[in-house]
Amino acid sequence: MPQSQHGVSLACIYQARQRIAGQVLRTPLVHSPALSRRFDAEILLKLETLQPSGAFKLRGATNMIAALIERHGREALEAGVVTASTGNHGRAVAFAASRLGVPATICLSCLVPANKVAAIEALGAEVERVGESQDEAFIEVERLVRERGMTLIPPFDDPLIAAGQGTLGLELMEDAPDLDRVVVGLSGGGLLGGIGMAVKAIRPETRITGVSLSRGAAMWQSLQAGRPVAVEEVGSLADSLGGGIGLDNRCTFGLVREVMDDHFQVSETSIAQAMVDILEHEKLLVEGAAAVGLAALAEHGLEVRGQRVALVLSGNGVALETLDKARQLANR
Ligand SMILES: *Cc1c(COP(=O)(O)O)cnc(C)c1O
């Protein structure tokens, strides 16, 4: 297979799998009787909610840090790795670095609540509190890279990150080799791009369906524009799907364009209903970003009858207040 501009191949994903083995959970793919009856299909759930950091992002972060150690030696990472994320990526970098014995610094704005700061510190990372916004925290990350020689671990736009997330696609193909469709939440595109690369290389007929927010979806608007564009960020129950794709995106925009077959947007109400449905019927606590696959099946009536469909339950990072909001919006 030719190595295209995005730099991610099936071989990179197999390498990633070897690197992360033992550090990241090989998660189960479970059959959902309730959802299978509801959609007259075989619905399978990929339980990334079981990852020790709470989300699939541990795959990419572990792969990148381990690959850097492999290529340049541990001494090259002496100053540590750095990123700015309050959410699943920050937790993943903190967790992966601590497991691999590398120092980690997570830059967080002063507006980030104390409980989130404590959670990241508990995973073994140094937290640097700086500025009044995520943007200011990023400026600090750039300074630490420049002045202290730290290494940036980006949340999605790197071939090593996307290849790490792609290991999830290998597991899907092993556990359900005749899968008809995978439904994946889409933000920066590391998850969908990695899974899509693995699945398409092994079984090109399997459809890769992306699901974005209905407002503030940077990848949606960028695909329409044919180039990365900036969007205004809007609050959502699926907060892990917010944020831009980077105007200088060099990997995931091209990758997503290459591997995705269809793409849907979902409303806040259907995300809320899907979160509550998964809690009530599957007894699984998922965050909004992990419920968008079910939200898309319900809201858009995708033609899945008789098919084998995997929904990626990507993470469990949900605050109780957010769950309350979802219940209110779902009216349950
Ligand atoms: C980051 C994230 C996503 C989206 O992944 P991208 O690689 O940014 O597209 C989906 N679900 C959860 C839980 C996440 O943390």
> Is the distance from CB of 311 to CB of 45 less than 8 angstroms?
yes
pLDDT over 70 (residue 1): no
> Three-state SS for 213?
strand
| Mean pLDDT of the 11-21 span | 98
Query: Is it the case that residue 144 has pLDDT exceeding 90?
Result: yes
In this structure, the residues whose C-beta lies within 6 A of any atom of ligand 1 are 55, 57, 88, 156, 185-192, 240-241, 287, 289-290, 314-315
> What residue owns the CA closest to ligand 1's atom 8?
188
Backbone angles phi, psi at 141, to 5 degrees: -60, -45
Comparing CA positions, the residue from 230, 166, 157 lying closest to residue 194 is: 166
- Which of 108, 98, 97 has the alpha carbon at shortest distance from 133? 108
Distance CA 261, CA 283 (A): 31
Q: Best mutation site among 241, 256, 260 for ligand 1, i.e. most ligand atoms within 8 A of its Cβ?
A: 241
Question: Residue 151 is inside which H or E element, if any?
Answer: strand 151-152
The total of other beta-carbon atoms located within 10 Å of residue 161's CB is 30
List 57, 85, 212, 222, catalytic entry:
57
* Mean pLDDT value of segment 253-274: 98
pTM over 0.85: yes
Mean pLDDT of the chain: 95
* Closest residue by CA, ligand 1 atom 2: 240
Closest CA to 310 of 126, 138, 181: 181
Domains of the chain in sequence order: 10-55+159-330 (3.40.50.1100), 57-152 (3.40.50.1100)
Q: How far apart are CA 224 and CA 220, in angstroms?
A: 6
Helix axes 252-259, 190-202, angle to 10 degrees: 40
Tens-place pLDDT, residues 109-132: 888 878 888 889 999 899 999 988
Q: What share of the chain is helix, strand, coil (3-state, %, to 5)?
A: 50, 15, 35
Instruction: Compute the average pLDDT of residues 194-205.
Output: 98
